[in-house]
A and B are shown apart, each in its own frame.
Chain A
Amino acid sequence: MPALLFWTFAAMTLVFGAAVVLNRNPIASALSLVLSFLGLAALFMGLDAFFIGIIQVLVYAGAVMVLFLFIIMLFDLRAEERRRINRVAVVGGSAVSLALFVQICLVVAELRGSHDQFPALPATRTDDVRDIGLLLFNNFNLPFQIIGVLVLVATIGVIVLSKRELR
């Protein structure tokens, strides 16, 4: 059963990932991306990584995709559908992605232990939210605090750049 679920969700991730690129309509591609993300989240869940699975849904499928859809709404959709496909760009793009794919395959093949059987997951479930929280507030406290400054700077920047009339 778990193997069947794995293949289902892996196929879902890949098929909808391809649909993102192949769809002419930007909204259809964006929604395919949501489904692709959901498949990925399900794969994480299958690995007992529930926290990352939920974050995947909340952050990517939720926040990031809403942002994408907003941006798409600002575009002229018909112009996008009418656009001719540039052959050179397609060939070049495929060549680059193929080269990257081959490169990654070669590097992974060199990786020690990449041919070993992976050990089975431990039966006891880990409390991942608690563990990540502890790590974040103990060992990674300094970078975590700096992210606070980062968010503040981002807030100031957004207000300065998006307000119609500054005061």
Chain B
Amino acid sequence: MIGAPMLEIAVVALGLLVLLIEAFTERTDKRAVAWIGMSGLAAVLVASFFLAPSPPPTTNGFWSFYTADSLAVFFKRFALVTTILVLIMMIDYAPIVRQTVHGATKQAGLGEFFALPLFTCAGLMWMASATDFVMIFVSLEVVTMSFYALVAFTRRNPVTLEAGVKYLILSALSTGFLVYGITWIFGATGETNLARIGDVLRDGGEQVPALFGMALVLVALGFKIAAVPFQIWVPDVYQGAPTPVTAYLSVGSKAAGFVVLLRVLEPFFVLPQTERLLVWVAALTLIYGNLAALPQTNLKRLLAYSSIAHAGYLLVGVVCLAGPAVGYYFVAYLLMTILSFAVLIVVASQSGDRIEDFNGLSRRSPFLSFAMLVAMGSLAGLPFTAGFLGKFFIFDAAIRQHQTMLLVIGVITVACGFYYYFKVIRAMYWERGSSDSTVPVSALTRYTIVALIAAILMLGVYPQPILNALRPQTAALSATR
């Protein structure tokens, strides 16, 4: 039996180990570093199934900052799986990094490129466990700080540099909002611990200043999860960042943002204004994300807008406080997003990342085009895919909570989604491509893609394993209603 905090310690230690190995073995192939990181993370993932039960929360000290409830453990595993998949994509992406980094040697910078995600992963895991604003702030900054470096990593590419600067400035701005909001909440309630803030608010504490603070915190979290109107950074940063980092941003960073959002909102749902505010944010995010995705011609940009749209569906789940639905949606989102980015990396290294570069892919590589077909179908929400059930659970929760407006907007925007996701499918199967050269796929990527396709189709008909993993925390979440 292992204590839950040991998981993060192990991941940080793994990161340090990888950095040291990288520093002392100059000649060896740096991809070995990624392999060590991946196997280490896999070991931690296995260890996460043998956790000792955590003690009840205390009023101060370690367990007032940190919780290992089932929501936290679920998203810790989520972070680990995401990071492993991102490292696999990074191995495929290594040749492009070599071309776009100022390097004295051939493998310059690759070691750091593989080591930074490990620290990001530790930050994501801490975020999943944070129950105190101090802890939330510190762990959020670990994640943000590592993304500053990762987004701008291939800095010889001017588009990447632009993405890095935009992410840095807007993210720093959102951090400012977060700190300012926390100080208002602390000033109004005298607490930074989320549970005790809830107690103070329930006893009729200072509600107006606390709400003001909550709105400011919501700005910062809205930035993290790419909710409208804090989504302006998303398209440019997603397009410019190295593709594995884009996938990491759109899955890992967003998931951790949503866990924090669920935890932060829990005490504030005592106040009715919170729900009204969130309903509007969710509706705007759904409409904006889906409509803006319609005219896109670049696949990375299309996926950026689709990531905004999915944040909208997830926010509907948050408004309805449907923890398991949000958790399931995230698993589906992880699988289909990583799958489409994995295919994108392979195809883009051959031609480019515009949609027209996918023209005739079905002839050049039937395997990749089938993978993309599954990913796009699932993102759009075709039945028998994980994406369909994800949307189904979210809409089910919306009906139960009588959120009619969100339900109607949700259903209409799903129809929009079919149009732009099927644009990619049409390009692959109906359009004629300019070249007939086959697209080579490495063995590791091939296995990963097969596993992702299998997982999407399996979870589309048999969602029980995920729902079971999320079950015990329903009690914790429904307590606020």
Nearest CB of B to A3, in Å: 25
Q: Does A166 contact B (CB under 8 A)?
A: yes
Q: Does A126 contact B (CB under 8 A)?
A: no
CA A160 to CA B149, docked complex, whole Å: 7
Contacts of A152 in B (CB 8 A): 119
- State which of A103, A112, A143 has its C-beta within 8 Å of the C-beta of B206: A112
- State which of A111, A139, A149, A166 has its C-beta within 8 Å of the C-beta of B12: A149
Interface pair A154/B145, CB less than 8 Å apart: yes
Contacting residues of chain A (124-167) with chain B, CB-CB under 8 angstroms: 138-143, 146-147, 149-150, 152-154, 156-157, 159-161, 163-167
Q: Does A107 contact B (CB under 8 A)?
A: yes
Contacts of B126 in A (CB 8 A): 146
Contacts of A156 in B (CB 8 A): 19, 112, 115-116, 119, 149
Interface pair B152/A161, CB less than 8 Å apart: yes
Contacting residues of chain B (134-185) with chain A, CB-CB under 8 angstroms: 134-135, 137-139, 141-142, 145-146, 148-149, 152-153, 155, 164
Interface pair A166/B103, CB less than 8 Å apart: yes
Q: Which of A110, A112, A146, A164 has the most CB of B within 10 A?
A: A146
CA A117 to CA B453, docked complex, whole Å: 67
Interface pair B101/A166, CB less than 8 Å apart: yes
Interface pair B209/A111, CB less than 8 Å apart: yes
Interface pair B65/A142, CB less than 8 Å apart: yes
Chain B residue at minimal CB-CB distance from A156: B112
CA A152 to CA B262, docked complex, whole Å: 29
Interface pair B145/A111, CB less than 8 Å apart: no
Interface pair A166/B109, CB less than 8 Å apart: yes
Interface pair A166/B134, CB less than 8 Å apart: no
Interface pair B119/A149, CB less than 8 Å apart: yes
Q: Does B268 contact A (CB under 8 A)?
A: no
CA A163 to CA B148, docked complex, whole Å: 15
Interface pair B116/A153, CB less than 8 Å apart: yes
Chain B residue at minimal CB-CB distance from A166: B108
Interface pair A166/B102, CB less than 8 Å apart: yes
Contacts of A161 in B (CB 8 A): 149, 152-153, 155, 164
- State which of A110, A140, A164 has its C-beta within 8 Å of the C-beta of B209: A110
- State which of A107, A138, A165 has its C-beta within 8 Å of the C-beta of B104: A165
Interface pair A153/B61, CB less than 8 Å apart: no
Nearest CB of A to B184, in Å: 8
Contacts of B135 in A (CB 8 A): 142-143, 146
Once A111-B206, A143-B135, A149-B12 are accepted as A-B contacts, the answer to whether A157 and B145 lie under 8 Å apart by CB is yes
CA A143 to CA B287, docked complex, whole Å: 38
Interface pair B212/A107, CB less than 8 Å apart: yes
Contacts of B450 in A (CB 8 A): none
Chain B residue at minimal CB-CB distance from A157: B149
Q: Does B242 contact A (CB under 8 A)?
A: no
Contacts of B104 in A (CB 8 A): 165-167
Nearest CB of A to B105, in Å: 6
Contacts of A112 in B (CB 8 A): 206
CA A152 to CA B26, docked complex, whole Å: 21
Contacts of B62 in A (CB 8 A): 141-142
Nearest CB of B to A113, in Å: 9
Interface pair A107/B209, CB less than 8 Å apart: yes
Contacts of B116 in A (CB 8 A): 153, 156-157, 160
Interface pair A165/B12, CB less than 8 Å apart: no
Contacts of B164 in A (CB 8 A): 161
Q: Does B476 contact A (CB under 8 A)?
A: no
Interface pair A143/B65, CB less than 8 Å apart: yes
Contacts of A147 in B (CB 8 A): 138
Once A140-B134, A149-B12, A152-B119 are accepted as A-B contacts, the answer to whether A165 and B108 lie under 8 Å apart by CB is yes
Interface pair B209/A167, CB less than 8 Å apart: no
CA A152 to CA B149, docked complex, whole Å: 12
- State which of B101, B108, B149, B206 has its C-beta within 8 Å of the C-beta of A153: B149
Contacts of A110 in B (CB 8 A): 206, 208-209
Once A107-B208, A141-B62, A157-B148 are accepted as A-B contacts, the answer to whether A167 and B139 lie under 8 Å apart by CB is no
A contacts, CB < 8 Å to B: 103, 107-108, 110-112, 138-143, 146-147, 149-150, 152-154, 156-157, 159-161, 163-167
16 A-B pairs (CB sep. < 8 Å): A110-B208, A139-B61, A142-B135, A143-B135, A147-B138, A149-B142, A150-B138, A156-B19, A156-B112, A157-B146, A160-B153, A165-B108, A166-B103, A166-B109, A167-B105, A167-B108
Q: Given A111-B188, A153-B146, A159-B112, list of 20 further CB < 8 A pairs?
A: A107-B209, A108-B209, A110-B208, A110-B209, A111-B208, A139-B61, A142-B62, A143-B137, A146-B139, A147-B138, A149-B142, A150-B138, A150-B142, A156-B116, A160-B112, A161-B149, A161-B152, A161-B153, A164-B102, A167-B105
The 8 A-B residue pairs with the shortest CB-CB distance in the complex, in nearest-first order: A157-B149, A166-B108, A166-B109, A165-B104, A143-B138, A146-B138, A110-B208, A153-B146
B contacts, CB < 8 Å to A: 12, 19, 26, 60-62, 65-66, 101-105, 108-109, 112, 115-116, 119, 122-123, 126, 132, 134-135, 137-139, 141-142, 145-146, 148-149, 152-153, 155, 164, 188, 206, 208-209, 212
